[in-house]
Amino acid sequence: MTDRPAADWMRAMQALDEELEARIGVPASLAPGRPRAESLSSIARELVGQRERAWQDAFVEASTTVLHSLVEHFPGNLYWDLDFLLAALLEESEQPEDLLDRAAAVARLQELFGCRSVIAFRYLHDFTYGFDWARWMARKPAERAGIGPFSITFLCHIERRGHEIAAAIAAGDARFPRLQPGEFRNPFPFSRSPQHEAHLLTDLAGRDLIPVYAWCTTARPRFDLPFAALREERARALGLPPGPGQGG
């Protein structure tokens, strides 16, 4: 392993941080007490700072792929914690090329579900903070033991589900109505306007009701609580108005 200063790869990560801030402003964190998401360069330094050049370069490319897709397809995302997502993709990768493949899989999901698609979700929060994964795990916990929120098994499941939903929309399935231009799909019974989304998620984070601490590279994902039901319960308790209830 070459002893290198903060050279090409680290400068590239810093440039990615600067690009993100230029495009969306200061990236917010959902972590209680931390208003700003950890910088990508800090995450890179922690995860691959002592690795070989091939891993450092792959991490730059993977981070760029994930971030560019996120900004393009979920520009209205409120919280930008990517610590655990990037750490999990790296942990699952045996070779640098594996990391690139996993980042590409995440980018495909963002395109499939994002604002430019017929599905048109507004936020990536349900994916990055583990709500989708926790619901899926709770259905068959023994059979799915050991499958993480960003494992290739779960990524493939979400991709298949996305294509099923897109096909149902194209077929005129009443469960998945077509949206008007500028509308976002909301399968929940409560509003997910930016104000209400922020209010609810910060409440859940403060009550330790987030399945994946996406702001921590060493997070331990959980599905031991009925997170979906608790989320709806807190939405009612906070007095969030009803949402449009489109399927998803």
Q: What is the pLDDT of residue 248?
A: 65
Residue 242 pairs with which residues in a beta bridge?
190
- 3-state SS class at 169: helix
Residue 179 DSSP class: P
Q: What is the mean pLDDT of each run of 10 residues along the chain (248 residues)?
A: 62 97 97 96 96 96 98 97 98 97 98 97 98 97 96 97 97 93 94 97 98 98 97 97 76
Alpha-carbon torsion 43, 123, 113, 225, what sign?
Answer: positive
Q: What is the pLDDT of residue 247?
A: 65
Give the residue among 155, 171, 194 at the shortest CA–CA distance from 247: 171
Backbone angles phi, psi at 242, to 5 degrees: -65, 150
Residues 6+ apart with CB under 8 A from 231: 131, 200, 204, 209
CA distances from 178 to 75, 116, 142, 182 (A): 21, 13, 36, 12
**CA–CA distance, 200 with 77 (Å, rounded to integer):** 14
Residue 241 DSSP class: P
Q: What is the pLDDT of residue 163?
A: 98
Q: Tokens for 195? A: 């104000």
Residue 79 pairs with which residues in a beta bridge?
28
Q: What is the pLDDT of residue 157?
A: 97
